[in-house]
Structure 1
Amino acid sequence: MQSLIGTGVALATPFKKDFSIDTEALIKTVNFSIDGGVEYIVVLGTTAEGATMTKDEKEFVIKTIIETNNGRIPLVLGVGGNNTMEVVQELKTRDFSAFEAILSISPYYNKPNQEGIYQHFKAIAEASPIPVILYNVPSRTGSNMLPSTVMRLANDFKNIVATKEAAGDMIQALQLFKNKPKDFLIISGDDMIALPMVLAGGSGVISVIAQGFPKEFSEMIRLGLNRKVDDAFEIQYLLSDSIDMIFEQGNPAGIKQVLQSLGIAENTVRLPLVSVDESLSNRIDLFVKKINKLT
């Protein structure tokens, strides 16, 4: 899965002030990421606010991104949930011809044990017609998919090709690197430690900040993959304040403020999320202006 090495962008869904989908801004966001040099785009990941979108809206977003991308870079589709049978049904009925893989989050709210997580992804692997990327993000799901469970899945199912690891725990990540099958990819789900994870043996990142600074962030990851450590960390330290800021008041409120500061999209999010406050908005705007002057 060479196409999943490097920087993937977890794309936000731009909304107008009336909370409807902003088609023009969505197209701009896709093109900005591609023109910035990212390797692939994740459609309808957590950052896309799919939890507050209707089925028709999701289909519209998928269609718009596929048409805008026009085959330029690989696409990954977020297909997950805490109802295993519902996820399996989608996998059996959806057309995946435009997608390289699916990204599937570990079940949230139900808080299954490790065997439950394994059985959930076993059902997904058996139903999916394309490769599967596992997604571990305990801060959102309420449960941690342990390295032993990831390795069990990776060894048992050839179409489980990668994991997006967003536990924020480098010790846990090192266990994955140590024990993974040769061709299994470990993808960072944390922007702040994406570079250290790459240097430890990771294959790249599925990033939020990269859609705000695609040129800089994707170059940092490429430098890391090529072991040009000093140059990579120079970019890391340049962007680190922005990574803190975009998560300070929740995702995707922060990255949507970056997109507004760039003139790409409004900073509107749907309830129960709210937009960043004036103080953070001003700080993000100043940071974007600073980066634009430097680059």
Structure 2
Amino acid sequence: MTEQSPAAAPPPGLYVAPIIFFKADHEIDFSAYRAHILRLAKGGVTGMFVNGSNGEAQHLFHEERKAVLQFVRKTLDENGFGQVVVIAGTGTQSTRETMKLNVDAAEAGASYALIFPPSTWRSRMDNEAIIRFYREVADASPIPIMIYNNPGITAGINPDSDTFITLGRHPNIVGTKLGCEDLGKLTRIVNTLPQSKFAAFVAASDALLPAIMVKGAGGNTSLLNVAPKAHRRMWDLYDKGSVPEAREIHRLLSHADWIKNKYGGPAFLKAVVAKEFGYGSTVIRGPLKAVSADPDLQADEVKHLQQLISLEKSL
């Protein structure tokens, strides 16, 4: 894409990585998924990162990925949430396959694509290869792309801030989701690239308030599946200068984020949502396994989780 005008970055705010629900036969439960998408939208999220790791993209067929994106966009539009941004997860181990998924995402109504770096050939994915991959994909993409930096699912690949700044100057690369939770890296990025051109989000709720304080674009997190209203409340409190109150909610988010990671990630989120909000099941596609909403939690863990859920239900 030579001589291309720079694309706009996604607006700052709260982006959820929605979990997906399956029936007992492991087919997608679109009824439960609809209930979930609408609860998140009503909870005040800015956007949704569909087909990410928490949405079990790695467990979906290509046609399912496209169908899920179409379903989310249609559900939001038909229920008065047309302003909610849809970001598609399109990262694969192949440059050509990623390009194809970007086309599918655009056709399904996604506004952006969020892409992790290929990691199968880890020893060959040096800085030069990473930059080449993203530039080639961005050049071919019909929608702006973002960089998904998640060392935990990419064999430890963790580009430095200089790499992000270099890539951020490409006209069709407009942001990142930082799963490394490196606030120093975030600070260097946001102090170098304007947020209107390159939006840097953290990937965990326990880093959200510090990220906002250093002028990051916000969060793209999985705990929003449980407590979108609580996240929105914290954001609004900080925005109006009520920092102690915002910090108190951040304390709850930090504890709950750790509990979620400790007891099963997306499987645990499904169990909590099904138990506390009355829709969906705990079915998860293999090789992951289902967990319960009470997997031998310690007493203080039960307390922290219930405090957050009580807050969510009170808002």
1:272 aligns to what?
287
**Pairwise mapping of residues 107-186 of structure 1 onto structure 2 (< 5 A)?**
107-111=118-122, 112-142=125-155, 143-155=157-169, 157-181=170-194, 183=196, 184-186=198-200
Structure 1, 122-131 or 283-292: larger mean CA deviation: 283-292
Which of 98, 101, 105 is the matching residue for 2:112?
101
- Relative to structure 1, the CA distance from residue 159 to residue 17 in structure 2 (aligned partners, 3 Å threshold; closer, same or farther) is same
**1:291 Cα offset (Å):** 3.6
**1:89 Cα offset (Å):** 3.0
> Counterparts of 2:232 and 2:167 in 1: how far apart (Å)?
29
Q: Which amino acid aligns with 1:272?
A: P
- Relative to structure 1, the CA distance from residue 266 to residue 58 in structure 2 (aligned partners, 3 Å threshold; closer, same or farther) is same
1:15 is the counterpart of 2:22? yes
1:239 aligns to what?
253
1:75 is the counterpart of 2:111? no
Show CA shifts across 1:126-150 (max 9, x none): 0112221111011111211211111
> Counterparts of 2:45 and 2:61 in 1: how far apart (Å)?
28
- Relative to structure 1, the CA distance from residue 222 to residue 207 in structure 2 (aligned partners, 3 Å threshold; closer, same or farther) is farther
SS at structure 1 position matched to 2:26: coil
Which of 101, 106, 119 is the matching residue for 1:90?
101
- Relative to structure 1, the CA distance from residue 12 to residue 141 in structure 2 (aligned partners, 3 Å threshold; closer, same or farther) is same
Q: Which amino acid aligns with 1:268?
A: V
- Relative to structure 1, the CA distance from residue 160 to residue 276 in structure 2 (aligned partners, 3 Å threshold; closer, same or farther) is same
Q: Which amino acid aligns with 2:261?
A: F
Q: Which amino acid aligns with 1:204?
A: G
> Counterparts of 1:90 and 1:205 in 2: how far apart (Å)?
24
Q: Do the aligned residues in 1 keep the contact of 2:115 with 2:147 (CA within 8 Å)? A: yes
2:3 aligns to what?
none
**1:172 Cα offset (Å):** 2.7
Show CA shifts across 1:240-270 (max 9, x none): 3221121113321121122112212212211
**1:190 Cα offset (Å):** 1.8
Show CA shifts across 1:9-35 (max 9, x none): 111111123322111100001000001
SS at structure 2 position matched to 1:133: strand
Show CA shifts across 1:95-137 (max 9, x none): 4472221111122332211111101100111011222111101
Q: Do the aligned residues in 1 keep the contact of 2:227 with 2:312 (CA within 8 Å)? A: no
Q: Which amino acid aligns with 1:201?
A: K
**1:151 Cα offset (Å):** 0.6
Show CA shifts across 1:157-187 (max 9, x none): 1221111111022233333233334632111
> Counterparts of 1:268 and 1:68 in 2: how far apart (Å)?
22
1:255 aligns to what?
269
**Pairwise mapping of residues 41-80 of structure 1 onto structure 2 (< 5 A)?**
41-70=48-77, 71-80=82-91
Structure 1, 87-96 or 65-74: larger mean CA deviation: 87-96
Q: Which amino acid aligns with 1:82?
A: Q
- Percent identity over the alignment is 25
**1:51 Cα offset (Å):** 1.0
Show CA shifts across 1:202-226 (max 9, x none): 0111111112111111232344455
Q: Do the aligned residues in 2 keep the contact of 1:203 with 1:225 (CA within 8 Å)? A: no
**1:2 Cα offset (Å):** 6.8
Which of 201, 204, 207 is the matching residue for 1:190?
204
Q: Do the aligned residues in 1 keep the contact of 2:24 with 2:283 (CA within 8 Å)? A: yes
Unaligned runs of 5+ residues in structure 2 are: 1-7
- Coordinate RMSD, CA, aligned: 2.3
> Counterparts of 1:119 and 1:271 in 2: how far apart (Å)?
33
The TM-score normalised by the length of structure 2 is: 0.85
Q: Which amino acid aligns with 1:87?
A: T
Q: Do the aligned residues in 1 keep the contact of 2:49 with 2:89 (CA within 8 Å)? A: yes
Q: Which amino acid aligns with 1:161?
A: V
**1:278 Cα offset (Å):** 6.4
SS at structure 2 position matched to 1:135: strand
> Counterparts of 1:290 and 1:187 in 2: how far apart (Å)?
27
> Counterparts of 1:293 and 1:222 in 2: how far apart (Å)?
17
The TM-score normalised by the length of structure 1 is: 0.90
Unaligned runs of 5+ residues in structure 1 are: none
- Relative to structure 1, the CA distance from residue 278 to residue 8 in structure 2 (aligned partners, 3 Å threshold; closer, same or farther) is closer
Q: Which amino acid aligns with 1:249?
A: Y
